[in-house]
Structure 1
Amino acid sequence: MRDNRYQPLTSSLSLYLLYTKKMGGPVIHIFILFCAVGFTFCSNPQLFAENELIANYSHRNLPSVPKSLPSLTAVLDLSYNEISVLLNSDFNSLSKLKVLNVSNNKISWLDTGVLKFNKDLEYLDLSNNSLWNISGTFTEGLRHLDLSFNSFKTLSVCKEFGNMLQLEFLGLSAEKIQKLDFKEVATLQLHTVILTITDRLDYEQGSLQMLKTEKLHIVFPMKEVDPQFVMYDAFKTSEILELTNIFYSWSYEDFWSSFSYVVNHNSSVHSLTLNNVGLPWTTLVVVVQAVWHSSIEYFTMSEVNLLPWITRVPFDYSNTLMKAFTIEHVHVKVFEFDQNVVYFLFSEMMIPSMTIKDANMVHMLCPTKPSLFTYLDFSNNELTDDIFEGCGTLVLLETLILQQNKLYKLSKASAMTAQMKSLRNLDISQNTLQYEDGEDCYWSESIITLNLSSADVDESVFKCIPVNVKTLDLHNNQISTVPVRIAKLKALEELNLASNRLIDLPDCSLFPSLAILYVDLNSIQTPSSDFLQNCKNVSAINAGNNPFQCDCNLRDFIYREKQSAEDIAGWPDSYRCEYPDDVKGTLLKDFHLAEISCNTVILLVVVFIVILVVVISVLSLCKVLDLPWYLKMMWQWTKTKHRINTVHRNPPEIHKNLVYHAFISYSQQDSIWVKSYLIPNLEKGDGSVQICQHERNFVPGRSIIENIINCIEKSYKSIFVLSPNFIQSEWCHYELYFAHHRLFTESSDNLILVLLEPIPQYLIPSKYYKLKALMAQRTYLEWPKEKRKHGLFWANLRAAINVSLSTPEETCSLNC
């Protein structure tokens, strides 16, 4: 099983490439940020393959390098442990190793032979150990080597660096620095050199000038040390200079008074940074004044501690090359002083850019004359709404950052910008801002970017927005909706409404030019369809991490997201169903609903088609199987059984003269069917059914009419076998007449019509109007041609004549 300390590099490594050019040749400065390891370094963009690993053993209190490291390890972080010795066996199996960080341990001596098998090693950090000696030669492929913050007495180790032609970053430390030590390094074209020196420094003047580097960073000790010759050489060594731990000392007061000479005498520096500065106000002004008249264009002071006594000091603002001045993280150790002394110094600087951050500044004076400021950053201070009130001298200002101050009224913030005719970018985020209906807003019409994030504003803020703004950042506020009744922001192209309380996407008709929209981390469940119709110009959107309601209303939104996934930030991992519970956690890209379940028209069409198919199928089946006939026969049988049951429950008084179950009337031409099928299937030969047939039951000697009447009256039912032959028989007509007469005189249901063959209506003579009426009013049984239907036919017919009768006393024998 793979240890969870190892991760594929592609998942935890972010590359940031910065290409710079120096002396006509490209220099690659590549910063690689390790999320899992937690340190930065310079390296090659082609450094890692997908199957190589990062091993993070930082902050584990390890006394030695772990054993059995995976052979594919490319990055190994062993920083902040208790390792004192590196052995040959520690790294000989790591042939893929490219980055090794062993900083902040207890290593005092190193034999570079422990790395002889690591030919691909490019980054090695041994800083903050106790190294006093190194033996052997480092691999020639190193690009980053950091030996700073160690205990070297001299820099003799530098003699071994002459063949490291790919080296870009070099960190050194020593008590004694001399030119000879840098002789071999002087041939290298370095990008960055960091040098840490001790309070026992023995420095040979001119040593640093042997180096060829773009950036030089010198870390002075926290104790007093004479910085004169080191600084003098530092200003001649590189274009970018960073000095850390700059403290005022009475012992070297003359140095600070002559600092202008140090900075200006043949200086090659154009960017200067001073870190961890502790100076009195007057000395700080001397330093700023010296830099002001030097070749330095970019000056930064960080972690500044102002020592007591702040008084006004003359300052010459003329003749400067400075483009940007930055002072940040200021700690004032003076409780009572004239703050205007400080503000005036900075407000009158005629330079393009100034930054004063985290300085507890409560106010800033408006320049007394038209200023050259184009960029001002006063973030993380104590500035109030009175800042630059009525100021009309910032006519060239393009960017103003007042982030994280104590601004309160949005209307006053807008009035502050009214006279800034060139202002394009305004950041007043992380203030507690309010806007009340009726307040007037007078924004500069030149503002195109406004940052109001984390300002605790609600939807009323839309009533106080610059009309020409193109980029509007309102993330992390209390906005629940975008009001419809606001002035259209016709120029707005990018809108950030992330981390608010939105329950729906905004109406893009208010922002006709909107192209980029951020609405992630809100409360949007079902984006409205209006958004998809009105926001066709939106080419990029981030709507992730919302509690989506996955139903039909979301289908169009999901379809759009899938179609333009390359323009969707966070897709698909940040887009998941929250409701209903059965699909909670499902990625939107994996959520599917059939078109039929969401489109009512299609659903109705499909239902209609299904019903139509079923009806047609049933009708076809009925036609094939003759189902109507069966249903008709079953209905007849059911009615007959019901009648019989009723009779059995309430038996009527049957006429004593009824001796036959049925009298059969038929044409002589149909006698074969009657004798061969009808009579045998009704009588069954068991005597239970008595059929009156004229050939055997008419009484001789009586007239035919008399026999017909007599047999009909003595029979429970009269069965008429209808066919085209029937209507041609005169006697059959008489029999039908007498039976029909009995039907009305006795109100008895005694007629059964059996249709042996179909009889077209036009064949029935008019004199047979009774037959027409009976066939139109009464249900008749049809003789089925299919043999499989015969059983049901006989069952129905037998049920119709089923009744208990007495034995007949006489019989009929006359022909019909």
Structure 2
Amino acid sequence: MAETRNLGTKNFFCVCIFTITLYHAVLTSAENRYVADYSKQSLDAVPKILPAQTEVLDLSQNNISEFGTSDFNYLSQLRILKVAHNFIRELNFSIFQYNKNLEYIDLSHNKLWTVSCHPVTSLRHLNLSYNEFQSMPMCSEFGKMVKLEYLALSAIRIQKSDFSVLALLQLDTLFLGLEDLSEYKAENLSAFNTKNLQIALPQNEEFHIVLNLDLSTTGGLELSNMQDNHVSDLNTLLRKLDKNGRLRNLTLSHVKTTLRNILDVFQNVWRTTIEYFDIYYMALSHLSQSITIPDYAENSLKSLMINHVMSKEIEFDQAKIYKLFADMNISALTISNAHFIHMLCPSKPSRFTYLSFPFNTITDNLFEKCNNLSLLEKLILHANQFKEFTKVSLMTSHMKSLKYLDMSQNLLHHEDHEKGCHWGENLAELNLSSNQLSDSVFHCLPVNIQKLDLQNNQISSIPKEIVELKALEELNLALNRLTDLPQCGQFRSLRLLNMEMNSIAAPSSEFYHTCPSIKEVKAENNPFRCSCEIREFIDLRKQGLVVLVGWPESYQCKYPEEVRGIRLENFHISELVCNSTLLVAVILVITVVFAAIVCFLCIYLDIPWYLKMMRQWTQVKHRIWKNPADVPDDIEFHAFISYSEHDSDWVKNVLIPNLEKEDGSIRICQHERNFIAGKSIVENIIDCIEKSYRSIFVLSPNFVQSEWCHYELYFAHHKLFRENTSSLILLLLEPIPPYIIPAKYYKLKALMAKRTYMEWPAETSKHGLFWANLRAAIHVSLPRSNEINELEI
């Protein structure tokens, strides 16, 4: 029993569509409100922890068997309640008396057998279908639910008085699930005050429900589970319909009948006020019977849709079937999943503006040289067996009004050498997705096309030598083999470009320069290479030039490996790295600035002086290491100091103390303490110079004015030439302008010009290096130093 009910509900899909649509509409309006979803949780009772602000409560597909009196009274904001597919047996509507905003209740597919009524005046949608009601659960209180728009009921028994309450309501849709009907005592059903009546007919064909319908107030009728007798009853009902009736929509679902019966339905529908006729899941028999084409005279019918036709018979007059539909005097025809392999061209100019034949096996010869479809605006041939692209174009060349063509999911291909593409001149939208088209398709496209869908083909590039598509605004190239964004030289009006799921690693700059009209780009899920080239693509969005659909979630780095998975919005690379001109300029600027800083520091810190002193110190140490000094035995002093009396304070208080340390490692010969009394000054000078390893001359303006200093310099210079040694050290205490040196001191001028001299630094920070350099220049092991030290001790 339950399986039969479930099957009936699934079969009557229109009910599901309406219910889902209404529920979605209500739910969408409450999308920012509180939703509590407890479906499929194996609950056996309504949760007690629901927030008081709950507006949408879903308890469907659980094990709840009853409602407590206080389960919902605290949910004052509750608007939608779904409790379908549970085990509830009894319901008292008084439990909802505190839910003043309750609009939607779905209690279908439970175990309900009794209902205690209480008016829920705010209710718009109530579904009590597919329970265990013996009779229709109609209460007088239902007449007070003046806002009720949708009502779904089912029962095992029907009496004429069951629906009297409905006369008080203004329903939009009434659904009656009568698959399990076992007792029917109503000779005539009352006129339901509803715009749309949906009935799942009983399996028992003896109940003539359809014959007893009063459709004087009904605009739409939907019947499912139709057997032969039901179809016969429908034909009888249609023949009785008033030409001034309100019925505009007729839908039949899950129909099992003969071809002759369904043709009678067509003939009778043509004579009524019905404008839209839909048939879903039709199983036909006796196709080989002789049939008569109905008279398609003037009628009200605008649209016929047949979806999913089944038949076990394979031998019948197909041409007559095709002619049956081809010559229909209607505006829109849809035949889907009917195993059609062809469709004839109408025998005379047709009213068709819309034709749809998806999911059949129609081939390239459709409408070949057909001139009677001049009013056709929309043609849908999705999922068929078309192969030759040029034949498709020739088919449309006679359709002067055609604006939309859907050839998706076929086997279309086009070769470069193929010629003869002739499209309808008004074709503006073309869907060629999911075919086998390659780059050559761009040589065979309608010149006035505005929207072009080439998704899921084998396109690797867009040839440059193609006809300019001046009107093209939308281009879909998703799921192809493209490695770059296209240039827009041939379609400069392009606004929307879809390039998702291709092989684009680094979009080239030509795209940005040639596509000025682009406003929206879909380039999601491509293997982007995050390098300098990708920066311009990212900047498109930052500058607001285009909208990148799916940004930022679907735009990630694929290469190189170290940045794989990073979103493009988080990838940063310096302008300096990518711009070689800027890099060279920056390097030059840094070099100039660095050189300026070095020069400034050299001047400010006197770095050349330090370098000069370090070089001198290094040269001395290297010379000593490479050529150890052979000191004569008669050398007693490390250095003889020659200076002017005016510089004696500096010599005595600064020079000598810093050279002669307490360890006695350096001995200085000074005339005041080492000249021997009784000898002449000249003899003492010569003697000291001869006994000293080095001679230090403290040069200053005072030095050049001293006669004795001149003598000392003369004798030291004479020793320098005689012994060919580097015994002379010039120490510049103060700068000596060349013009103050007397002409007779030509030896001094020559020495200062040729020999490196040491300058006494004014800065205290330089003194340490100066003393280290000077001590290194005069330090040597004297032969008699030990003896002298012992005597002094």
* Structure 1 residue 769: Cα displacement: 5.2
d(CA) in 2 for partners of 1:63 and 1:701? 134
d(CA) in 2 for partners of 1:709 and 1:468? 115
Aligned in 2, Cα 1:518/1:746: closer, same or farther, shift over 3 Å? same
d(CA) in 1 for partners of 2:555 and 2:352? 44
Matches within 5 A, 1:242-261: 242-249=222-229, 255=233, 258=236, 260-261=238-239
| Aligned position for 1:202 | 185
| Aligned position for 1:539 | 519
* SS of equivalent to 2:55: strand
- Specify which of 569, 572, 578 is matched with residue 589 of structure 1: 569
Structure 1 position 415 matched with structure 2 position 384 = no
Opposite residue 53 of structure 1, the aligned amino acid is V
Cα pair 1:263 1:290 within 8 Å, conserved: no
TM-score of the two chains, using structure 2 as the length reference: 0.87
| Aligned position for 2:301 | 322
Cα pair 1:264 1:293 within 8 Å, conserved: no
| Aligned position for 1:372 | 351
Structure 1 position 526 matched with structure 2 position 503 = no
d(CA) in 1 for partners of 2:89 and 2:398? 63
Structure 1 position 797 matched with structure 2 position 774 = yes
Aligned in 2, Cα 1:260/1:786: closer, same or farther, shift over 3 Å? closer
Q: Say which is worse superposed, 561-570 or 132-141, in terms of deviation.
A: 561-570
Structure 1 position 464 matched with structure 2 position 444 = yes
d(CA) in 2 for partners of 1:644 and 1:273? 117
Cα pair 2:266 2:294 within 8 Å, conserved: no
Matches within 5 A, 1:172-183: 172-174=153-155, 180-183=161-164
Cα pair 1:383 1:407 within 8 Å, conserved: yes
d(CA) in 2 for partners of 1:586 and 1:499? 22
Matches within 5 A, 1:277-356: 277-310=255-288, 311-356=290-335
Opposite residue 443 of structure 2, the aligned amino acid is K
Aligned in 2, Cα 1:796/1:31: closer, same or farther, shift over 3 Å? farther
d(CA) in 1 for partners of 2:591 and 2:141? 92
Cα pair 2:243 2:273 within 8 Å, conserved: no
Opposite residue 200 of structure 1, the aligned amino acid is E
Cα pair 2:308 2:337 within 8 Å, conserved: yes
- Specify which of 644, 647, 665 is matched with residue 670 of structure 1: 647
* Structure 1 residue 634: Cα displacement: 2.6
* SS of equivalent to 1:43: helix
What's the RMSD between the two structures over aligned residues?
3.5
d(CA) in 1 for partners of 2:751 and 2:204? 132
| Aligned position for 2:194 | 213
d(CA) in 2 for partners of 1:661 and 1:258? 143
Aligned in 2, Cα 1:148/1:776: closer, same or farther, shift over 3 Å? same
Aligned in 2, Cα 1:187/1:454: closer, same or farther, shift over 3 Å? same
Opposite residue 420 of structure 1, the aligned amino acid is M
| Aligned position for 1:814 | none
For structure 2, which runs of at least 5 residues remain unmatched after alignment? 1-16, 786-793
Matches within 5 A, 1:522-671: 522-564=502-544, 567-580=547-560, 583-596=563-576, 598-601=578-581, 603=583, 615-648=595-628, 651-652=629-630, 654-655=631-632, 658-671=635-648
d(CA) in 2 for partners of 1:85 and 1:332? 46
Structure 1 position 496 matched with structure 2 position 473 = no
Cα pair 1:192 1:214 within 8 Å, conserved: yes
d(CA) in 2 for partners of 1:698 and 1:190? 139
* Structure 1 residue 289: Cα displacement: 1.4
Opposite residue 213 of structure 1, the aligned amino acid is T
Cα pair 2:282 2:308 within 8 Å, conserved: yes
Structure 1 position 53 matched with structure 2 position 30 = no
* SS of equivalent to 2:91: strand
- Specify which of 717, 742, 762 is matched with residue 785 of structure 1: 762
| Aligned position for 1:6 | none
Show CA shifts across 1:207-226 (max 9, x none): 0x2x3322221221233145
Cα pair 2:53 2:77 within 8 Å, conserved: yes
Show CA shifts across 1:781-805 (max 9, x none): 1112234433432332222122234
| Aligned position for 1:718 | 695
Show CA shifts across 1:709-733 (max 9, x none): 6655554323222222333445545
Q: Say which is worse superposed, 705-714 or 585-594, in terms of deviation.
A: 705-714
* Structure 1 residue 344: Cα displacement: 0.5
Opposite residue 263 of structure 2, the aligned amino acid is V
Opposite residue 111 of structure 1, the aligned amino acid is N
| Aligned position for 1:361 | 340
Q: Say which is worse superposed, 145-154 or 411-420, in terms of deviation.
A: 145-154
Aligned in 2, Cα 1:766/1:262: closer, same or farther, shift over 3 Å? farther
| Aligned position for 2:152 | 171
- Specify which of 374, 382, 385 is matched with residue 403 of structure 1: 382
Matches within 5 A, 1:510-521: 510-521=490-501
Show CA shifts across 1:227-261 (max 9, x none): 47646513x23222222222213xx7874664551
| Aligned position for 1:193 | 174
Matches within 5 A, 1:699-710: none
Structure 1 position 435 matched with structure 2 position 417 = no
Show CA shifts across 1:485-517 (max 9, x none): 433322211112223333332223343111112
Opposite residue 290 of structure 1, the aligned amino acid is N
d(CA) in 1 for partners of 2:617 and 2:374? 107
Show CA shifts across 1:170-212 (max 9, x none): 11334565665444432322211112333533334350x2x33
Show CA shifts across 1:557-587 (max 9, x none): 3333345499443233333344455554444
Opposite residue 100 of structure 1, the aligned amino acid is L
d(CA) in 2 for partners of 1:745 and 1:416? 119
d(CA) in 2 for partners of 1:387 and 1:32? 39
d(CA) in 1 for partners of 2:592 and 2:25? 74
Cα pair 1:55 1:73 within 8 Å, conserved: no
* Structure 1 residue 623: Cα displacement: 4.5
Taking only the aligned residue pairs, the percentage that are identical comes to 50
Q: Say which is worse superposed, 340-349 or 549-558, in terms of deviation.
A: 549-558
Q: Say which is worse superposed, 211-220 or 446-455, in terms of deviation.
A: 211-220
| Aligned position for 1:449 | 429
For structure 1, which runs of at least 5 residues remain unmatched after alignment? 1-29, 809-816
Opposite residue 320 of structure 2, the aligned amino acid is V
d(CA) in 1 for partners of 2:20 and 2:159? 35
* Structure 1 residue 303: Cα displacement: 0.8
Aligned in 2, Cα 1:347/1:741: closer, same or farther, shift over 3 Å? farther
| Aligned position for 2:143 | 162
* Structure 1 residue 130: Cα displacement: 4.7
d(CA) in 1 for partners of 2:671 and 2:716? 15
- Specify which of 133, 148, 151 is matched with residue 129 of structure 2: 148
Q: Say which is worse superposed, 607-616 or 773-782, in terms of deviation.
A: 607-616
TM-score of the two chains, using structure 1 as the length reference: 0.84
Cα pair 1:132 1:150 within 8 Å, conserved: yes
Cα pair 1:298 1:322 within 8 Å, conserved: yes
Aligned in 2, Cα 1:766/1:268: closer, same or farther, shift over 3 Å? farther
d(CA) in 2 for partners of 1:768 and 1:395? 123
| Aligned position for 1:272 | 250
* Structure 1 residue 98: Cα displacement: 2.2
* SS of equivalent to 2:56: strand
Aligned in 2, Cα 1:679/1:439: closer, same or farther, shift over 3 Å? same
Aligned in 2, Cα 1:281/1:66: closer, same or farther, shift over 3 Å? same
